[in-house]
Structure 1
Amino acid sequence: MARLPLRQKMRLQVVVFILHIRIMKSMFNMLMFLAMTLVLRRRKFRRTLTYADQTASRHNIRSLNLQKMVFESDVQCVDNCIMDRRTLAKLCDLLRTHGNLKDSRNATIDEMVISFLHIVAHNIKNRVLKRQTARSGETISRQFHAVLNSILRLHNMLLRKPEPIPDNSTYERWKWFKGCLGALDGTFIKVNVETVDRPRYRTRKGEIATNVLGACTPDMQFIYVLPGWEGSAADGRIFRDAISRMNGLKVPLGNYYLCDAGYTNGNRYLAPYRGQRYHLNEWRQGYQPTTAKEYFNVKHSQARNCIERCFGILKARWAILRDKLFYPVKTQCRIISACCILHNFIRSEMHIDPIDIEVGQNECNNFQSEEDDEDLIRRCETSHAWTEWRDKLAHEMFTTWQTEQH
């Protein structure tokens, strides 16, 4: 076989070498393409898997949180929501049917109501609750206001209608006050206002608060609540505003409320005698009344004490009313009204009120409702006839008491 010339042999080797390089380059490009494809697919798979894991994790956190807060036992439910599970279920159903509260895209009515109750019961801040529930602060705030508006729509249902004390009442505290609807008084609740408004909201003790007028029944359920007045406003001024409003405090002719000495004694608002012993702690040393006015003040104080205890239970139940609120003033007043409405609902639905047990044992009576279509009192002025009626009632009470003593 003839040998190829040296030049042709070298040329053939160069061609073969070039072909090897091109083949290796093609194989390298193919391997790089496969590697990039695998990397991209792996990243996409990881991203989808991570998002699904996060969603499942948030759902598990919320489920476990609700389970621990409410559904484990009535004790846990009362500790976190101030009501047992049966009462909570009835509240959610009432808000759904009459309060126009609906499930949101991300939460059910039960979860929204539980979060609201947890906030007002323990004064929980949004930044704390969003970590517990794995939700954003904006979502919590939106759900809070939705439940708040729904509760306020129930005021006609849950605020008690006044029922006068019947003539045949045998309840020791109220049997002398025939036709009485309950008691009224004011209380201070701390609020947060702008610097320019603080002088108007500053109380005599230097606190920034709103003066809330409330009226309650003998079994300590609210009849009427008027929040929003400045802390520097006098009780009498707030009272005159309440009875002059179109939807304000209504007192039918023939009935009256018990009030303290800071209010005017007249026009169906029975106040105690001034300049006489009145407060209950003044009678705990065994001191016996010596005059009709003193004995009247004793009975008046015992009966009117229901509004004092009603406010005490209200503040003990809702921690958000004991501390300064960081909401606009209008929202703070709405929260106060909602807490009073929920107070009535709990006292009417729960057989045993745990907050009432902590504050002190309460004796409640049920009174039959009586419709009254007579004219309403819209002004409060002193009158000679009303003062004489009070003097006559005091003399009758004192004479009966002396007879029973002998």
Structure 2
Amino acid sequence: MTDQDLSVKVTRKDEESTTVLILLEEVLKNLRLNLLLWNPIQLMMHALTQGGNGLRDALGLWMVRVPIADTPRYRNRKGQVTTNTLAVCDRRLRFVYVLPGWEGSAGDSRILRDAISRPFGLKVPKECYYLCDNAYSNSEGFITPYKGVRYHLKEWGPGTRAPQTPQELFNLKHTKARNVIERAFAVLKMRWGILRSPSFYPIDIQTGLIIACFLLHNFIRTNLDVDPCEDSLNTQPDDGYGSDNDEPVAPTINAVLPTALWTKKRDDLAAAMWAERMLG
């Protein structure tokens, strides 16, 4: 490749970056956050026993390209260079909160604490909760499965034993309910190919692209009766509650700390599920 060819290639790439940036700014300007990020319906402590109508949160990992000096901060525990996005969705696969831009090396709990502490961050009304995986601590507002107990759906497939303890039953219901967030991320990545491979755009532009993908996803989920991307996953949408648009009036959680009270609440949930199963 000659110097002239290289110059043309760099110029073309710069032009593409400028075009993407302009289009990105237009998308973010015209898509109002307060309309496309849904407010979560408030669900009290008995929600999981009634079929898992809580909200779900998880981290999405997107492969990125960053300057060599920044690579260690963005390298995750699997050795990939990624950026982390904390996201929360409702039962209709719409995202109610998104926090992009964290380095791949950042731990899940650290990102969650950041989301909780921000002035306009993740708001969890008292006595309500999100369903999380074991990357987080079981704490006020965040219910995790029991450790050391069967959890993943593949462990409950055909030919496996039915739940033998309250903890196993709890984990089974938890993983079925929380599977919504896994499906939401799968639909999101299927819809937007730019999320499936690293791009050459600067990290701030990539972060903006991630936000735009989430917002456009919500717009599509809200305005289409049938989502072709979800159909491609060969999954069935959940029946259940949509989000309401009322602001929370209850006090919200401002710290993520394991507590004996919420350990007991998880135990109470498991005991209630087990008692209902025995009566049924």
Q: Which of 137, 149, 154 is residue 32 of structure 2 equivalent to?
A: 154
Q: Which residue in 2 is equivalent to 1:382?
A: 258
Task: Quote the Cα distance in structure 2 between the aligned partners of 1:194 and 1:139.
Answer: 19
SS in 1 for 2:77: coil
Task: Quote the Cα distance in structure 1 between the aligned partners of 2:261 and 2:46.
Answer: 25
Task: Quote the Cα distance in structure 2 between the aligned partners of 1:388 and 1:138.
Answer: 52
TM-score by length of 1: 0.61
Q: Which of 154, 172, 195 is residue 321 of structure 1 equivalent to?
A: 195
Q: Is 1:399 aligned to 2:253, yes or no?
A: no
Root mean square deviation of aligned Cα: 2.4
For 1:123-162, what per-residue CA distance to the aligned partner results, in whole angstroms no more than 9, with x for missing partners? Answer: xxx969xxxxxxx7587446423423325x5111110111
Q: Is 1:355 aligned to 2:229, yes or no?
A: yes
Q: Is 1:299 aligned to 2:173, yes or no?
A: yes
Q: How does 1:42-57 map to 2 (within 5 A)?
A: none
Identify unmatched segments of 5+ residues in structure 1. Answer: 1-125, 129-135
* 2:57–2:181 Cα contact (<8 Å) kept: yes
Query: How many residues end up aligned between the 2 structures?
Result: 266
Q: How does 1:215-230 map to 2 (within 5 A)?
A: 215-230=88-103
For 1:291-349, what per-residue CA distance to the aligned partner results, in whole angstroms no more than 9, with x for missing partners? Answer: 00000000000001111111111111100000111111111111101100111110110
Bigger drift between 254-263 and 370-379 goes to 370-379
Distance 1:168 1:349, change over 3 A: farther
Q: Is 1:336 aligned to 2:210, yes or no?
A: yes
Q: Which of 366, 372, 381 is residue 241 of structure 2 equivalent to?
A: 366
Q: Which residue in 1 is equivalent to 2:75?
A: 202
Q: Is 1:164 aligned to 2:38, yes or no?
A: no
Distance 1:294 1:184, change over 3 A: same
Distance 1:240 1:362, change over 3 A: same
Q: Which residue in 2 is equivalent to 1:253?
A: 126
Task: Quote the Cα distance in structure 2 between the aligned partners of 1:297 and 1:150.
Answer: 42
Structure (1/2) with the larger helix percentage: 1
TM-score by length of 2: 0.87
- Give me the identity figure in percent: 40
- Ranked by relative contact order (alpha carbons within 8 Å, sequence separation 6 or more), the top structure is 2
Identify unmatched segments of 5+ residues in structure 2. Answer: 1-10
* 1:243–1:249 Cα contact (<8 Å) kept: yes
For 1:219-273, what per-residue CA distance to the aligned partner results, in whole angstroms no more than 9, with x for missing partners? Answer: 1110111111111111011111110111110001121101011111111111111
Distance 1:137 1:200, change over 3 A: closer
> Residue type matched to 2:240 in 1?
N
Distance 1:177 1:389, change over 3 A: farther
Q: Is 1:144 aligned to 2:23, yes or no?
A: yes
SS in 2 for 1:223: strand
Distance 1:245 1:143, change over 3 A: closer
* 1:165–1:175 Cα contact (<8 Å) kept: no
> Residue type matched to 2:211 in 1?
S
Q: Is 1:189 aligned to 2:68, yes or no?
A: no
SS in 2 for 1:377: coil
Q: CA deviation at 1:367?
A: 4.1
> Residue type matched to 2:261 in 1?
A
Distance 1:363 1:158, change over 3 A: same
Q: Which residue in 2 is equivalent to 1:268?
A: 141
Task: Quote the Cα distance in structure 2 between the aligned partners of 1:208 and 1:283.
Answer: 33
